[in-house]
Amino acid sequence: MLRTVRHHDGIDIAGPHQYVRAAAMGQVSTVGYSKTLGHFVCIDHLNSYRTVYGHLSLTLVRVGQTLQIGETLGITGQSGRATGVHLHYSITKQNVPVDPVPYLTLAMDVVRTYQQQARRQTGSNP
pLDDT at site 22: 92
pTM attached to this predicted model: 0.80
The domains found in the chain, sorted by start residue, are: 11-122 (2.70.70.10)
Categorize the per-residue pLDDT at 8 as very low, low, confident or very high, splitting at 50, 70 and 90. Answer: low
Q: Are 51 and 20 in contact (CB under 8 A)?
A: no
Percent of the chain clearing pLDDT 70 (strictly above): 90
Of 34, 40, 37, 45, the C-alpha closest to 92 is 45
For residue 12, the Cα-to-chain-centroid distance in whole angstroms is 10
pLDDT above 70: residue 50: yes
Res. 124: pLDDT tops 70: no
pLDDT score for 3: 52
Closest CA to 56 of 89, 81, 36, 79: 79
Q: Which is higher by pLDDT, 104 or 97? A: 97
